[in-house]
């Protein structure tokens, strides 16, 4: 690294790379755009790269450095169109850095912020590309651990490139046991609880990203990390179709399955998720049958009606989805059968009261 010390100053060069500008700042240091213009084996590459410089406190930690190198080596063997390639893990003047493929575009976080409504077809396309990158990594035994929109880059041709694979793992390994590394809004319940995480935790985080692409906000937000983590573990998500009316039914089911609290209820693999994404009919909307149970909803405010529908859906979910599906009209036997199944204690109470009243009238 050139004479500049690691502070907020931008170095003129790092290793064999000439710094062109700053691309961003993450939790783990700064990221720069650079050019590799010095000849390697007599060949001038003139290759534009992105360089992540690790913070000095981590760079100085020899255990971290060792583990990071091992992890970086594993990640650098990943070669996939939807994964950012790692070119080099290096050290210069006591500073550790990773040189990687530069993606000319923007990260998904900025894309979501800039795009008012992302077309459903694009959401499906992006999700499938993320799945392909993850499927490849998982089959090579690499779990990402920090899937979030800022780690998903979108180039000018709408090709997805996932970055920062496995980096969170090294940081987690050298931090205090039980502590968590990751971004609370995208963290799986098991990760939020400091438990062991695996490929299914990536599936959860991907489900959250898909939810955000649809509705512009992740399902669990709060004003502090602890509160978000609590919601990840305990709070049921509001179905995305409540926030975005053109959510395809199948896509909603896929997202809700990906973000199930219990790992066993989620997709077993990215492959399975990908197969389901292939079956999404973008024009099939979520069936809002629950309105049939509340004809008076029409008089309620839209917000109150939305809230009521959410509650109905959650209840439906808890009751094994009895309210979902079939065309239930108040005139159908199926409707009353369902009502009887759900509300039998109420019916029993009404019958008892009626009986008591009849006895009372009869006696007097
Ligand atoms: N390979 C790359 N090519 C182009 N831009 C990149 C590349 N990698 C990262 N960026 C940009 O730099 C920003 C910061 O990235 P960085 O990974 O440092 O931060 P982060 O993802 O927000 O946080 P974290 O440290 O938790 O990963 C990204 O959001 C992205 O916009
Ligand atoms: Mg990142």
Looking at the structure, do residues 32 and 163 belong to the same domain, yes or no? Answer: no
Q: Say whether 324 is catalytic.
A: no
Last residue of a domain, one of 102, 132, 164: 102
Phi-psi region of 82 (alpha: psi -120 to 50; beta: other; left: phi over 0): alpha
Give residue-wise pLDDT tens across range 140-158.
Answer: 988 998 999 999 999 999 9
pTM exceeds cut of 0.85: no
**Residue 355 resides in a domain:** no
> 95 with 111, same domain?
no
**Which residues form the domain of 6?**
1-102
pLDDT in tens, 65-94: 777 777 778 788 899 999 999 998 888 887
Instruction: Say yes or no: 88 and 118 in one domain.
Output: no
- Rounded Cα distance between 180 and 164, Å, is 17
Structure tokens belonging to residue 70: 């091992």
Is there a single domain that holds both residue 192 and residue 51? no
Residue 334 lies in a domain: no
Q: Using the structure block, give the residue that is written with the tokens 């609370």.
A: 184
**Ligand 1 binding residues, C-beta < 6 A:** 23-24, 26-28, 31, 50, 52, 84, 100-103, 107, 146, 150-151, 153, 163-164
What CATH number has the domain bearing residue 237? 1.10.510.10
Q: Is residue 20 part of a domain?
A: yes
**Is 286 inside a domain boundary?**
yes
pLDDT single digits (tens) 8-67? 577 888 888 999 999 998 777 789 999 988 776 666 678 999 998 887 777 677 777 777
Q: Which candidate in 107, 146, 164, 202 is catalytic?
A: 146
Does 17 share its domain with 154? no
Task: Supply the pLDDT for residue 79.
Answer: 95
Reference 128, options 162, 171, 166, 78; nearest CA is 162
Residues 23, 109: one domain? no
Q: Which residue has the higher pLDDT, 285 or 95?
A: 285
Instruction: Give the pLDDT score at 78.
Output: 92
CATH number of residue 29's parent domain: 3.30.200.20
Provide the pLDDT for residue 307.
40
Report the pLDDT averaged over residues 275-304: 64
312 within some domain: no
**Mutation test residue for ligand 1: of 26, 110, 146, 151, the one with most atoms within 8 Å of CB:** 26
Which of the two residues, 273 and 16, has the higher pLDDT score? 273
| CB of 184 closer than 8 Å to CB of 225 | yes
Residue 246 lies in a domain: yes
Give ion ligand 2 contacts, CB < 5 A: 26, 151, 164
């Amino acid at each position: 690294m050139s004479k500049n010390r690691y502070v907020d100053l931008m170095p003129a060069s790092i290793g064999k790379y000439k710094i062109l500008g700053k691309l961003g700042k993450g939790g783990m240091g700064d990221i720069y755009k650079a050019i590799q213009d010095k000849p390697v084996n007599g060949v001038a590459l003139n290759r534009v790269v992105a360089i992540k410089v690790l913070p000095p406190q981590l760079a100085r930690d020899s255990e971290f450095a060792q583990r990071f190198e091992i992890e970086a080596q594993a990640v650098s063997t990943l070669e996939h169109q939807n994964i950012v390639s790692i070119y080099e893990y290096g050290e210069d003047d006591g500073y550790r850095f990773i040189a990687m493929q530069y993606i000319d575009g923007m990260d998904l976080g900025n894309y979501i912020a800039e795009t008012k409504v992302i077309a459903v077809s694009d959401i499906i396309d992006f999700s499938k590309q993320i799945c392909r990158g993850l499927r490849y990594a998982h089959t090579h035994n690499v779990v990402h651990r920090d899937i979030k929109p800022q780690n998903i880059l979108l180039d000018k041709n709408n090709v997805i490139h996932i970055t920062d694979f496995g980096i969170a793992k090294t940081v987690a390994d050298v931090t205090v046991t039980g502590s968590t590394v990751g971004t609370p809004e995208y963290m799986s319940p098991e990760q939020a609880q400091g438990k062991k995480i695996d490929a299914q935790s990536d599936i959860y985080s991907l489900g959250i990203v898909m939810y955000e692409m649809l509705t512009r906000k992740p399902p669990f937000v709060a004003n502090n990390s602890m509160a978000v983590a609590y919601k990840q573990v305990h709070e049921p998500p509001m179905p995305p179709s409540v926030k975005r009316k053109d959510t395809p039914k199948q896509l909603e089911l896929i997202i809700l399955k990906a973000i199930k609290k219990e790992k066993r209820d989620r997709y077993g693999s990215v492959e399975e998720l990908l197969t389901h994404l292939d079956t999404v009919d973008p024009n099939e909307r979520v069936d809002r049958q629950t309105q049939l149970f509340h004809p008076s909803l029409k008089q309620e405010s839209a917000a109150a009606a939305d809230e009521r529908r959410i509650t109905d859906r959650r209840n439906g979910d808890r009751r094994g989805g009895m309210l979902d599906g079939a065309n239930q009209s108040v005139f159908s036997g199926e409707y009353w059968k369902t009502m009887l199944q759900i509300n039998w204690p109420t019916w029993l109470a009404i019958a008892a009261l009626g009986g008591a009243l009849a006895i009372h009238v009869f006696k007097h």
